[in-house]
Structure 1
Amino acid sequence: MVTPQYPTALSEGSLPARSYVTNRAMTDAPVPFAPLHISTDAFPVHRRLAMWREIYGRTIAKFDIKPINDTPFRAGVTLRSLPGLGVAAGHRSDSHYRMTRELATKSTDNLIFAVVTNGVGIISQRGREATIGVGEALLMSATEPSICTLHSGGRFLTLSVPRDAISPMVVEAGSMLVRPISKHSEALRLLTSYLGIVNEADKLCDPELQRLAVTHIHDLLASALGATQDAAILVEGRGIRSARLRAIMSNIVENLGRRELSITYVALHHSVTPRYIQKLFESEGTTFTEYVLEQRLVQANRMLSDPRFSNRAISDVAFKVGFGDLSYFTRTFRRRFCMTPSDARERARRESDA
């Protein structure tokens, strides 16, 4: 469940490690935040545990791995990295991941924030032990011995962040080590939601976007751990605000087809006021209504351009994405794309036949 300080071992590493890593360019200039996938499914069956121990345990994450039972071992992880942030999401068979004192001395001075997304986790460090279930989280130190046990179909999401980036923002960060954080924590919910949205982006190539993403994640993490008074004020106006807006935008896109989609509907879902949502969109130079309309039009255009929907009536497409008035849909579509819905479908058909 530990997030590696990865990826130098692999970007500089030798075979066989590089041979079993997928979806990441093995170049001298790796793509920022591009996912790196490692899975025992790619290993010879009889060597899965041994190779996972060597490639992931020793080369990347710096811990010993011991299965709990005789069930055939399987594991997989997706890693992403930006300056000031490492993110890992994965699964593994029931097992103990032990960071010895020797291995801990080789680790970067980072704090590890671990969230259990399935199964049960048992973490020991500094003479403390905590059990966390689905949706719960805790903080660990990457430079101290620890044991992380995950069982019952364990899946995890972990963050690795520089200690000196988080400690000044948190009230007694050391006292938060191995202290469970409730799944009902709003800051934790916003953090996991924001990470989900960021992870869906194929690339974060713009340095400014990278910096903002890392800053917002640091803010949300500090809030989940217990930000200092000064940091809490800063975080509320920066990371928390941005995460709420991204979560609201994501919720809107997921519910475009609902006729009852309204600012009141969304406000109730996120336990905020309609005015608060209005202010969030105003900070982006738009409004709730404009955003919903834009997303509905974009989704409609996507469907009209998709051969799978070529037999569906244009009115069906309009109603599918939430429009209740066909003439209003046609008018706004033409204004947005400088063509009618029929023109959009015909253009897609011509391009497909070309």
Structure 2
Amino acid sequence: MRDAFTPAWFDAQSAPSLRRPALFAEAFRAAMADLDIEVPRAQAFQARMLWVALPGARLASCFATGARFVRRGGEDTPAGDDARGLILLRPVGGSLPVEQCGRTVLLNDRQGALISLAHPFSYTAVDTVRVDHLLMPSGLAGAEGWTPGLLPLPATDEASLLLLVHYAGAVLQGLIPLQNAQHAALAGGHMRDLARVVFGLGATPVAATASPATAGSGRLAALKAAIAPHLGRRDLGLDMAARLLGVTPRTVQKLFEADGTTFSAHVLACRLEAARAALEARDGPGAERRVAAIAYEAGFGDLSYFNRTFRARFGLTPSAWRRRAGGMAG
């Protein structure tokens, strides 16, 4: 049985082709909200989704080839739905046309918009587009005076959206472990607070109820998730990390200091772990590469420094580690 607050996968590939749209619609309703899924050809339909439900916030990242997501109004809207609910949409890898209240907005790659469950809406995902969703079932504090409808993200606040995206991504990837209901509630509150900042709805009230350590751990997890794809770059430094998260370099330093380490120590540890895994590989990436190539791909620009730090961490030189790993595997 799936643990509470653990991200879950849905993949329609294993289902009979004619049943895939209905099964995906059922899964999406359970994960997000009551929407219909319209597809031009059921036989060609493919869909997969990663999602997690938290108190006050639900996340879903999904691919659905050529699907049109439709929220119907009037008598078709279930009586139990909360009309205050809001969904933040963000396409990745292409554009996403969104329609609500007679207004159409074309969201380009990695742009965001806020839509309301109180009125009908639709959006259509093309083959190559991933659509990220953040549902806030009870709306957002500060949005009471907002007329429900389509609200595109101000272009000037892309940094705040990036911070929200990295935090949400860390939750979906399990980089922020949610071990109990309190952790899940804090994570949901953090995402709601970030969404309020993104759309200019005021300061973050939940942060005042969370301890500084808990709030800081969430931001640190988001930061680690943001820099992880860039660990192989030798120009990765404080300035780049700060730009990825939309904060100052000093903020990056303080987040790591509160965790009892430093930015440089974290990057070094991650690079050494990546090199160690590559040295142990018997097939695939790293199996036939020279030690120097593995070091450079892990982000090291100085081979002697790599050899020295690797030995200090693991007790053997990289070459000796590879020989030992090969002997153990045999």
> Structure 1 length as normaliser, TM-score?
0.73
Aligned to 1:222: 196
Match of 1:345 among 300, 309, 322: 322
- State the AA in 2 paired with 1:329: F
Return the letter of the residue paired with 1:63.
L
Residue 234 of structure 1 and its aligned partner are, at CA, apart by 5.3
Tell me the residue number matched to 2:52.
Answer: 80
CA shift in 2, pair 1:322/1:81, >3 Å: same
Distance 2:295 2:24 in 1: 50
Q: CA 1:352 to 1:111, structure 2 compared with 1: closer, same or farther past 3 Å? A: same
Q: In the alignment, residue 335 of structure 1 is paired with which amino acid?
A: A
Return 5+ residue gaps in structure 2 as ranges: none
Q: Aligned to 1:179, which of 128, 141, 151?
A: 151
Q: What is residue 301 of structure 1 aligned with on the other side?
A: 276
Using the alignment, how far apart are the partners of 1:347 and 1:173 within structure 2?
66
Pick closer, same or farther for the CA change 1:58–1:331 going to 2, 3 Å.
closer
Higher mean C-alpha displacement, 212-221 vs 90-99: 90-99
CA deviation map 1:111-151 (0-9, x unaligned): 32222333322232xx4534231233333343x34131315
- 1:184-213 per-residue CA deviation (whole Å, 9 max, x = no partner) reads 522212212222232222884512543443
Quick check: 1:290 aligned with 2:261?
no
1:239 to 1:171, Cα distance in 2 relative to 1, 3 A: farther
Q: Is the 8 A contact 2:97 2:123 kept in 1?
A: yes
* Structure 1 residue ranges without an equivalent (≥5): 1-26
Counterpart Cα distance in 2 of 1:193 and 1:64: 29
1:195 counterpart (163, 168, 190)? 168
Per the alignment, in what secondary structure is the counterpart of residue 261 of structure 2? coil
Query: Residue 335 of structure 1 corresponds to which residue in structure 2?
Result: 312
| SS, match of residue 312 in structure 1 | coil
Q: Hey, what's the Cα distance between the residues in 2 that align with 1:213 and 1:94?
A: 30
Matches within 5 A, 1:1-354: 27=1, 30-39=3-12, 41-49=13-21, 55-56=26-27, 61-67=33-39, 74-78=45-49, 79-92=51-64, 93-95=66-68, 97-102=70-75, 103-108=77-82, 110-117=85-92, 118-124=94-100, 127-134=101-108, 135-142=110-117, 144-153=118-127, 155-163=130-138, 167-168=140-141, 170-172=142-144, 174-175=146-147, 177-182=149-154, 185=157, 186-201=159-174, 204-207=177-180, 209-229=183-203, 231=205, 245-246=220-221, 248-267=223-242, 272-308=247-283, 309-353=286-330
Superposed CA offset, 1:274-300 (max 9, x none)? 333322322322212211211121112
Aligned Cα RMSD in Å? 3.6
CA contact (8 A) 1:300 1:317 kept: yes
2:35 and 2:69 in contact (8 A); partners too:
no
Segment of structure 1 superposing worse, 216-225 or 277-286: 277-286
* Letter matched to residue 347 of structure 1: R
Q: Separation in 1 of the partners of 2:296 and 2:37?
A: 53
Inter-partner Cα distance in structure 2 for 1:59 and 1:271? 33
Number of matched pairs: 316
Give the whole-Å Cα distance in 2 for the aligned partners of 1:45 and 1:138. 32
Give the letter aligned to residue 216 of structure 1. H
Shift of residue 37 of structure 1?
0.3
Deviations 1:283-331 (A, max 9, x none): 3222122112111211121112222334433333333323334343233
CA–CA distance in 1 between the matches of 2:119 and 2:78? Answer: 6
SS of residue paired to 1:91: strand
Matched-pair contact (CA < 8 Å) for 1:138–1:181 = yes
Percent of matched pairs sharing the same residue: 28
Q: Say whether the 8 Å CA contact 1:304–1:310 is kept in structure 2.
A: yes
Q: Distance in 2 between matches of 1:84 and 1:272?
A: 26
Asked whether the 8 Å contact 2:189–2:206 carries over to 1, the reply is no
Is the partner of 2:152 in helix, strand or coil? coil
TM-score (norm 2): 0.77
Preserved CA contact (<8 Å) 1:130 1:179: no
Q: CA deviation at 1:231?
A: 3.7
Relative to structure 1, the CA distance from residue 176 to residue 290 in structure 2 (aligned partners, 3 Å threshold; closer, same or farther) is farther
Partners of 1:100 and 1:146 within 8 A in 2:
yes
Residue 277 of structure 1 aligns with an amino acid whose one-letter code is V
Secondary structure in structure 2 of the residue aligned to 1:175? coil
